[in-house]
Amino acid sequence: MKRYIQGVIFGFLFAALLFGGIAVFAESRPDIVWKKIDAAYGGYKIYIDGVLFEPSDKNGVLEPFNHNGWIYAPFEKIAKALGRQVRWEETTHSLYLDEYEYTVKSDDTNDTIEIVKYLGNSTELVIPDSIGDYEVVRIGDGAFANNKSLISAVIPDSVISIGNTAFWNCKSLSNIIIPNGVNVINDYTFAGCTNLFSIEIPESVTSIGSRAFEGCANLRNVIIPDSVAYIGSWAFSGCNSLYNIIIPGSVTFVGNGAFEDCMALSSITLSDNINIIAERTFERCVNLRNIEIPDGVTMIDDRAFAYCENLESVIIPESVVEIVGIWKHEFYPPSGGYTGAFANCPNLIISCYEDSYAHKYCLENEIKFKLN
């Protein structure tokens, strides 16, 4: 790897000198220090106007060279070739290469950092809580998306926001620590992290976005804290290894398909404060055998439990006044499948109260039932 880096560096230095492409920086630069990394520059000589200059490397700090009062830094092209960025730091008169692309955000009180993109290839990463004099408070949209190397990541306590798709499709990611201070897990944040085994959602989180954990096929353990009020559509869909879920009483909304295709899910506790079991919420949860609908739910929407082929018992309270679709195998051409809240649940027995809406629904659709 070192020889490869040296070869790339030499090629770019040679090209820069040959075509006069040496980057020249003015002596005034933002006072920002980027994280230091090792780089190999030894053994290569640079001549400018016949004068020998040798860029030095001290503990990862790349020192530019002075010629006739100008600061010459051919390192910017090299940094781009290596997938890194370079920044001049005035107080130490040094250049730094870093693993992060970031922006400085300003408000009325202070300046803070948003990490825009991770440029490194570490397997275990502790994200810094500051870069230079600025605190890191946000992980931007797609900042780590599609990273194939990352196995473990620790997000610092300074971070209060993690953007959409921030860790999308990080297929090697198996462990991540989210700090207490993050309020929202946004859309697609961890979607496609197929090796993620468990996740601890901090008590500061109030909302889990749409498809936030979609397709996390090996996710087995999730604890939703009682600070969460909103679970977005398809938030946990395709989490094939998830076997137990408790939706706390703080949750007032669960979106369409939130737990669709959770094939291993066998135990569900629903919040007492939701009014609707939305479309496809538990569709194709084939290992689910029984569930109790909490009192206060007024509607069970289309295909909410469709294709739960082993579902045997559903307890429906008197508060339910609408169950969408018929129970029998009504084929619905636009979707290419069967429609109805309990479509293709052949072993289902509904427990309900006499003369309730659920009782009448069972009678009309010839569903097996027992009265409470």
- Residue 75 C-alpha from the chain's centroid: 33
Give the confidence band of 99 by pLDDT, cuts at 50, 70, 90: confident
Give the confidence band of 34 by pLDDT, cuts at 50, 70, 90: very low
**262: phi then psi, degrees, rounded to nearest 5:** -90, 85
Q: Which of 53-57, 111-115, 232-236 has the highest mean pLDDT?
A: 232-236
- Residue 79 C-alpha from the chain's centroid: 28
CB 196, CB 217: distance < 8 Å: no
Top pLDDT among 47 and 294 is at 294
Top pLDDT among 140 and 63 is at 140
Q: Is the pLDDT reported for residue 276 higher than 50?
A: yes
Q: Which residues pair with 134 in a beta bridge?
A: 131
Note the pLDDT of residue 22.
Answer: 31
Q: Is 365 helix (H, G, I), strand (E, B) or coil?
A: helix
Residue 28: HSE in the Cβ half-sphere, 13 Å Cα cutoff? 0
Give the confidence band of 310 by pLDDT, cuts at 50, 70, 90: very high
Point out the least confidently predicted range of 8-17, 222-231, 244-253.
8-17
Mean pLDDT of the chain: 79
pLDDT > 70 in the chain, percent: 70
Q: Is the pLDDT reported for residue 92 higher than 60?
A: no
Number of C-beta neighbours around residue 226 at 10 A = 12
Q: Residue 230, class by beta-carbon neighbours within 10 Å (0-12 exposed, 13-18 middle, 19+ buried)?
A: middle
Instruction: Please give the full DSSP string across 175-243, using - where no structure is assigned.
Output: EEE--TT--EE-TTSSTT-TT--EEE--TT--EE-TTTTTT-TT--EEE--TT--EE-TTTTTT-TT--
Which is nearest to 98 in space by CA: 140, 37, 41, 154? Answer: 37
Q: Residue 255, class by beta-carbon neighbours within 10 Å (0-12 exposed, 13-18 middle, 19+ buried)?
A: buried
Note the pLDDT of residue 133.
Answer: 78
Q: Is 54 helix (H, G, I), strand (E, B) or coil?
A: coil
Q: Is 124 helix (H, G, I), strand (E, B) or coil?
A: strand
Q: Is the pLDDT reported for residue 21 higher than 50?
A: no
H or E stretch covering 358 = helix 357-365
Number of C-beta neighbours around residue 45 at 10 A = 9
Give the confidence band of 137 by pLDDT, cuts at 50, 70, 90: very high
Top pLDDT among 47 and 141 is at 141
For the chain, the domains span 2-98
Give the confidence band of 88 by pLDDT, cuts at 50, 70, 90: low
Residue type, 81: A
Note the pLDDT of residue 301.
Answer: 96
Note the pLDDT of residue 87.
Answer: 55
Question: What mean pLDDT do residues 174-182 have?
Answer: 95
Which is nearest to 70 in space by CA: 57, 88, 58? Answer: 88
Question: What mean pLDDT do residues 314-330 have?
Answer: 83
Distance from the first to the final alpha carbon of the chain: 71
Give the confidence band of 299 by pLDDT, cuts at 50, 70, 90: very high
H or E stretch covering 5 = helix 2-18
Q: pLDDT (tens digit, 9 = 90+) per residue, 192-230? A: 999 999 999 999 999 999 999 999 999 999 999 999 999
Q: Is the pLDDT reported for residue 335 higher than 80?
A: no
Q: Is the pLDDT reported for residue 256 higher than 50?
A: yes
Give the confidence band of 176 by pLDDT, cuts at 50, 70, 90: very high
Cα–Cα distances (Å) from 267 to 93, 117, 287, 350, 358, in that order, read 61, 39, 9, 17, 22
**292: phi then psi, degrees, rounded to nearest 5:** -110, 120
Give the confidence band of 290 by pLDDT, cuts at 50, 70, 90: very high
Residues listed for the chain: 372
d(CA 106, CA 92): 24
Give the confidence band of 70 by pLDDT, cuts at 50, 70, 90: low
Give the confidence band of 307 by pLDDT, cuts at 50, 70, 90: very high
